[in-house]
Amino acid sequence: MLVANQSIVTTSVIIRLRELLFGYSVLCRNILGEAAGGDVGRPTTHLHFYFHENFSGGPDGTAVQVSAARGGLNNGSFFGGVVNVVDDMLREGADLASRLLGRAQGLTVGAFLTDGELLTVCDFVFTDGPYNGSTLALLGRALLGTVMERPIFGGTGAFRMARGYTLSKMVASPDPNRMLVLGYDAYI
């Protein structure tokens, strides 16, 4: 009888310990997930839009070079100090006549040896639609001609304290000699 009671007690202690450990692990996962930037229990917002940059330098230009490469362009590449200030358009579609949703305002820097590779720092400022008045902060490496992934590390309004990422890629431009068009998917 004593052996049977000890076995029941041991089994119930083991079951109780397993329940406690499971509860503790769920609690730690939630706490650590939040601390590490996890999205525990948060819905994901997906935005799709198009980025339009007019680099022609004319009156309609949205990108202005403010610093040239030291000694001129390095064999035609942007490396060595080319800095552009941008105030580009965020539109609903790839067509320049599509609805304006906001602006991409910030900097691009030729900070890599590879041509077509830029460091981008910008805010997406939404001026129309459901996110009017909200912003997303973006920072990262852009290698033109590839799918570019860049982190979202903050925002304002509907996107206050936002975390996420963007995927963007070049799409056919109506005027490739003066206009860069990127399709963007933002996951927040």
Same domain, 19 and 79: no
Q: Which residue has the higher pLDDT, 3 or 70?
A: 70
Same domain, 37 and 50: no
Same domain, 20 and 87: no
Spatial neighbors of 127 by CB under 8 A, at least 6 apart, are 100, 101, 102, 103, 133
pLDDT score of 105 more than 90 = yes
Task: State the average pLDDT over residues 106-110.
Answer: 92
Same domain, 20 and 92: no
Same domain, 93 and 144: yes
Query: How many structural domains comprise the chain?
Result: 2
Return the half-sphere exposure (C-beta side, CA atoms, 13 A cut-off) of residue 34: 7
Same domain, 34 and 97: no
Q: Is 153 within 8 Å of 19 (Cβ atoms)?
A: no
Please tell me the predicted confidence (pLDDT) of residue 117: 82
Same domain, 143 and 173: yes
Please tell me the predicted confidence (pLDDT) of residue 94: 96
Domain of 13 in residue numbering reads as: 1-41
C-alpha distances out from residue 11 to 2, 4, 7, 23, 134, Å: 14, 10, 6, 18, 56
Same domain, 127 and 181: yes
CATH code of the domain covering residue 135: 2.40.480.10
Same domain, 58 and 29: no
pLDDT digits (tens, 9 = 90+) for 14-65: 445 344 434 444 444 444 455 555 555 566 999 999 999 998 888 889 999 8
* Residues linked to residue 106 through DSSP beta bridges, in sequence order: 86, 122
Percent of the chain, pLDDT > 70? 70
Same domain, 68 and 13: no
Please tell me the predicted confidence (pLDDT) of residue 85: 96
Please tell me the predicted confidence (pLDDT) of residue 181: 96
Record the pTM: 0.73
pLDDT digits (tens, 9 = 90+) for 126-149: 999 999 999 999 999 998 889 999
Please tell me the predicted confidence (pLDDT) of residue 175: 86
Same domain, 65 and 90: yes
Q: How confident is the model at residue 8 (pLDDT cuts 50, 70, 90)?
A: low
3-state secondary structure of 19: helix
Mean model confidence pLDDT for the chain:
81
Same domain, 139 and 99: yes
